[in-house]
Amino acid sequence: MRKQSARISGGRFPQQYLCTGCNRPVFFGGPSNSDNDIYKSGIERYMQMKRIIGLPIIVIMICSLAAQMLVAGAQGGAVPTASIEGPATIDADDGATATYTIHVKNLPESSIWLRIKLTVDAAYLEARSSAALNGFLSIARLDWVDAGGGKQQATASITRGSADYGDYDVFSVVFGIADITGPSREITASVEMEIEEFGNSTEWLDITYGARVANTTIIRGASDVGSEGETPSPSTAPPNSPTPSTTPHSPNPSDNTNQNQEYSRFDINQDGVVNLLDLNAAMGKLMVTDANAAWDELAARSDVNGDLRIDVADFTIIYLNVT
């Protein structure tokens, strides 16, 4: 039996040749003793070539899938982590200040709402200013209240629209440093952070903690205690603390002067002015929808964008219309 040099057109196996004697396909080199051996050899060689050709494609597909899983894990699987950072040491000289920053890792690519409670050692840290950072918007000014045990507390509410996934400094507070009283040359003061609420426009989200407390060692200033005739005393209320209202959410029901008055749609508590009290009133209905039992007249007024859901979008609109 001899090989025919012409390739079979449209054959099922690569490099098939006709055997002149038996008119059977012969694969890759010469006659065989039986038809079964011929077909067996051809199939084996065909499958070997198929594996060799298909291997790069399989490798490419696996690499592509792995890359997609890594991206999904980095953006969707990593739970955000909140930490607070501040100076390790600081001198209690006149005018000394310390800045504490709240940092959140793995923030998702969506609108974000954060409510942060801060607790400070009021004897040595006096709040001076605060700011939302990197595109976040501060909803209301910090209102410091006595928490007992020489501590003060305040809650910061911040929000932002959709932004890139990543790590962000979201909020900072600047404290003035009071000098040290007594015989000690130094003392440790702390600022503690707690995330009370974390979510987007549709749901609450999980969040973990890195460092929840920032400790700062305050060293007695160059001017010793009493050298100026008196020792600085801590303030019982930070200078930027607003005076709380006795009726923050609604006008006096016995006051008939507001009856039949037309209110701005952003005047949520209908007291005749759009201010942060309206924002606070709307925040009390956060995540309420028209399907909830909590949906009432106040919720309907708080839904300023008309999507039948109380969320960050409504708070932002109200804030932007504060006069």
Could you tell me if residue 229 is inside a domain? no
Q: Are residues 55 and 113 in the same domain?
A: no
Whether 236 is in a domain gets the answer no
Pair type for strands 3-7 and 97-107: unpaired
109 and 44 within one domain = no
Query: Same structural domain for residues 88 and 209?
Result: yes
Give me the pLDDT at residue 221, please.
62
CA separation for the pair 303, 315 (Å, rounded): 9
Q: Which of 53, 76, 99 is the endpoint of a domain?
A: 76
Amino acid 220 reads: R
Q: For residue 118, what is the domain's CATH number?
A: 2.60.40.680
**Is 242 part of a structural domain of the chain?**
no
Examine the domain organization and report whether 117 and 195 are in the same domain. yes
| Stated pTM of the model | 0.53
Express each pLDDT in 141-176 by its tens digit: 788 999 999 999 999 999 988 778 899 999 999 999
- The tally of domains found in the chain comes to 3
The DSSP secondary-structure symbol of 34 reads S
50: domain range?
3-76
Answer whether residue 141 is part of any domain.
yes
Instruction: Name, in order, each residue with C-beta under 8 angstroms of 54's C-beta and a sequence gap of 6 or more.
Output: none
**Residue 289 belongs to a domain:** yes
DSSP strand pairing (125-132 vs 145-148): unpaired
Residue 99: per-residue pLDDT:
95
What tens digit of pLDDT does each residue of 188-208 get? 999 999 999 999 877 888 999
Residue whose pair of structure tokens reads 């060689």 in the numeric block: 45
Q: Take residue 151 and report the two structure tokens written for it.
A: 């501590």
**Cβ(201)–Cβ(315) below 8 Å:** no
The verdict on 125 and 187 lying in the same domain is yes
Contacts of residue 22, defined as CB under 8 A and 6 or more positions apart, other chains included, come to: 1, 35
